[in-house]
């Protein structure tokens, strides 16, 4: 009756690794918004979120397994799959409720998404394990903070879905985000993984957690608690707590207030998600009149921070003669029937601009006609039209990064079946020019919705002269899930990286003004027809990140490739 031998064999060891992998998935999910805004303290979980996965990868019993590299890669892959399901659960609701995909199809899309992106976690765990096996434990621990951003930059460029990278977990940490104007979120991720490595080093000196997990002797855990303090490397544990604790103080250190010199009116139209029927001659004048009237009410209450985190509403003195007129009026991306080329739309926008003496940026659709192989053809763009304060049409920005399965069907021959599943799938054509537009002698850079997650490309607007960013978005597709709040935090990081104000105007929220430190200075509640009258400023200086982009992440990638090449060509040390 040698039960312990069975429990501590390869099967039990894999179970232990799987439990540790799942623990990382759960902890990592807690580092990001769940179904509402994320309090600053929640980001502190990031300091220990990767510890279970690192411990599962580097613990001696795992290292002694015959198929160590394969098992470790599978452990990381499992962690990644579960993490993406937890973090992006909103994909199911978006596909099912808003896009009309049957439940089985929506679940399949979420699982497929997680199966693909989860591979990056498996790659990270495998790379750490390979370096551990061939170069030793110390090189593996030292290189883990470099390997993580290297994998993230690979995901950015390979699968093009850099959603909720690790660095966003500390978007509220004023001290850590000082790294972003130099190295982007990748530099922040390096610091976070370093903290996790310090805790992992302390745990690697402990035999008890491994034995408890592998033997599943849950009833005996309490009896072993008194022995833990004698077996942990107290020096490393103290160093980890000190390192992470001091840096986490930055989450409660308010950044200095950014100066303001202009006023924007951001209209939140709250249209819902269904496409509006376009019948011949239909101009939607009723809603045009309603939106235009709301755009002239330039004194409104607002929240002095992120909705649901601040509950005090500010009511400006609307009788004051000094109430500033808006310099720019922004209408969001929304399911509207307006066409950029429509003469009535341009006339109405021009009239509104001349009446308010404000520049206007309005989300719409543009259609371009041309000849293809000698036959008439057309292309449709998700766009933002820009009007000067004198009513003159300046031009438009065409969205460059379209949402796959939402605005276009990627690889249509491969995903031929998806057109029937996704009732609302669009047929948009992507733009290609990172344009900036002059309004009142200042230049504005515009990006639309999902484009805010592409850090290395948003910076190009600032590099091309944008002194302020305008992000128009239709977040109604996300519903009341975590996605709008995750989206907000990623936009906040773009402000920090480029040291620019962002005017975030959404269909149904979270409409807000974000200062160059990433702080939401003003906002309005979600899911209501309203407008935000917000103060903002202009910035001219270019940060290192704006000038050179992801040079730090690519350096991490080069170091990682060199280390992996060395590990592959070298035998395991004796």
Parse the chain into domains and list their residue ranges: 3-254+551-569, 264-277+296-535
Residues 6+ apart with CB under 8 A from 539: 467, 468, 499, 500, 501, 516
**pLDDT of the chain, 574 residues: tens digit per residue:** 343 444 455 566 778 888 999 999 999 999 999 988 999 899 999 999 999 999 999 998 888 888 999 999 999 999 999 999 999 999 998 888 777 778 888 899 899 999 999 999 999 999 999 999 999 999 999 999 999 999 999 999 999 889 999 999 999 999 999 999 999 999 999 999 999 999 999 988 744 444 444 444 444 444 554 454 445 678 888 999 999 999 999 999 989 999 999 999 999 998 865 544 444 444 567 788 889 999 998 889 999 999 999 989 998 887 655 567 899 999 999 877 788 898 999 999 999 999 999 999 999 999 887 767 677 777 889 999 999 999 999 999 999 988 877 776 666 666 655 555 554 556 788 899 999 999 999 999 999 998 999 999 999 999 999 999 999 999 888 888 999 999 999 999 999 999 999 999 999 989 999 999 999 999 999 999 999 999 999 999 999 999 999 999 999 999 999 999 999 998 655 5
Give the neighbor-by-neighbor strand order of the sheet with 502-506: 436-439, 442-448, 468-473, 502-506, 512-514, 520-523
DSSP conformational letter for 419:
H
Give the neighbor-by-neighbor strand order of the sheet with 328-331: 393-398, 375-387, 359-372, 328-331, 262-268, 530-536
Whole-model pTM? Answer: 0.89
Among 166, 175, 164, smallest CA distance to 248 is for 175
Among 199, 326, 302, 217, smallest CA distance to 525 is for 302
Q: Residue 476: phi, psi to the nearest 5?
A: -60, -25
Q: Read off the tokens for 192.
A: 């976070």
Sign of CA dihedral 434, 437, 443, 446: negative
Q: Cα dist. 346→44, 338, 388, 473 in Å?
A: 49, 10, 12, 21
Q: Where are the alpha helices (DSSP H) in 159-255?
A: 180-203, 208-215, 221-231, 234-248
First to last CA, the chain: 36
Cα gap 354→485, rounded to integer Å? 35
pLDDT of residue 390: 95
pLDDT of residue 294: 92
Q: Is 217 exposed, middle or buried (0-12, 13-18, 19+ CB in 10 A)?
A: middle
pLDDT of residue 488: 97
pLDDT of residue 319: 65
Cis peptide upstream of residue 76 (ω within 30 degrees of 0): no
Superfamily of 264-277+296-535 according to CATH:
Carbon-nitrogen hydrolase (3.60.110.10)
Cα gap 27→50, rounded to integer Å? 8
Angle at which helices 51-58 and 68-87 cross, to 10°: 170
Residues 6+ apart with CB under 8 A from 445: 434, 435, 436, 458, 461, 462, 464, 465, 466, 468, 469, 470, 500
With tokens 């009258």, the residue in question is 533
- What pairing do the DSSP bridges indicate for beta strands 393-398 and 468-473? unpaired
Asked if residues 507 and 268 have their Cβ atoms less than 8 Å apart, the reply is yes
pLDDT of residue 414: 61
Asked if residues 562 and 150 have their Cβ atoms less than 8 Å apart, the reply is no
pLDDT of residue 388: 97
């Amino acid at each position: 009756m040698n039960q312990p031998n069975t429990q501590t064999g390869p099967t039990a060891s894999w179970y232990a690794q799987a439990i540790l992998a799942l623990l990382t998935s759960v902890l990592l999910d807690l580092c990001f918004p769940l179904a509402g805004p994320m309090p600053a303290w929640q980001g502190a979980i990031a300091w220990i979120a990767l510890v279970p996965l690192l411990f599962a990868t580097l613990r001696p019993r795992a290292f002694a397994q015959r198929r160590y590299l394969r098992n470790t890669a599978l452990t990381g892959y499992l962690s990644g799959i579960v993490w993406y399901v937890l973090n992006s659960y909103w994909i199911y609701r978006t596909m099912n409720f808003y896009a009309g995909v049957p439940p089985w199809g929506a679940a399949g899309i979420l699982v497929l998404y997680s199966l693909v992106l989860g591979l990056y976690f498996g790659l990270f765990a495998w790379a750490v394990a390979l370096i551990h096996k061939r170069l030793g434990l110390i090189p593996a621990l030292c290189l883990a903070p470099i390997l993580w951003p290297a994998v993230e930059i690979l995901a950015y460029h390979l699968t093009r879905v850099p959603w909720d990278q690790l660095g966003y977990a500390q978007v509220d940490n004023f001290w850590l985000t000082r790294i972003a104007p130099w190295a982007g979120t990748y530099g922040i991720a390096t610091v976070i993984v370093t903290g996790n490595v310090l805790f992992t080093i302390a745990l690697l000196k402990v035999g008890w957690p491994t034995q408890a997990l592998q033997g599943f002797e849950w009833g005996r855990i309490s009896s072993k608690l008194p022995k833990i303090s004698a077996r942990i490397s107290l020096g490393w544990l103290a160093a980890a707590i000190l390192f992470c604790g001091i840096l986490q103080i930055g989450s409660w250190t308010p950044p200095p207030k950014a100066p303001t010199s202009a006023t924007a009116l951001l209209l939140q139209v709250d249209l819902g998600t269904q496409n509006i029927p376009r019948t011949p001659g239909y101009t939607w004048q009723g809603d045009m009149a309603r939106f235009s009237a709301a755009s002239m009410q330039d004194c409104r209450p607002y929240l002095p921070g992120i909705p649901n985190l601040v509950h005090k509403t500010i009511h400006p003195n609307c009788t004051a003669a000094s109430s500033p007129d808006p310099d720019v009026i922004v209408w969001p991306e929304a399911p509207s029937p307006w066409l950029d080329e429509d003469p009535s739309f341009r006339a109405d926008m021009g009239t509104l601009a001349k009446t308010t003496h404000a520049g206007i940026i309005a989300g719409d659709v543009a259609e371009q006609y041309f000849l293809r192989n000698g036959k008439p053809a057309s292309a449709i763009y998700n766009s933002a039209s820009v009007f000067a304060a004198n009513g003159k049409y300046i031009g438009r920005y065409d969205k460059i990064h379209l949402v796959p399965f939402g605005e276009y069907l990627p690889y249509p021959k491969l995903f031929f079946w998806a057109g029937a599943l996704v009732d609302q799938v669009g047929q948009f054509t992507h733009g290609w020019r990172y344009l900036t537009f002059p309004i009142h002698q200042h230049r504005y850079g515009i990006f639309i919705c999902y484009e805010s997650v592409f850090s290395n490309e948003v910076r190009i607007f600032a590099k091309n002269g944008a002194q302020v960013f305008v992000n128009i978005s239709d977040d109604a597709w996300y519903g009341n899930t975590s996605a709008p709040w995750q989206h907000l935090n990623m936009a906040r990081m773009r402000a920090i990286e480029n040291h620019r104000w962002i005017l975030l105007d959404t269909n149904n929220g979270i409409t807000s003004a974000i200062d160059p430190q990433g702080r939401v200075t003003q906002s309005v509640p979600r899911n209501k027809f309203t407008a935000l009258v917000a103060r903002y400023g202009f910035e001219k200086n270019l940060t290192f990140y704006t000038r050179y982009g992801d040079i730090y992440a690519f350096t991490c990638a080069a170091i990682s490739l060199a280390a992996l090449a060395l590990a592959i060509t070298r035998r395991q040390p004796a």
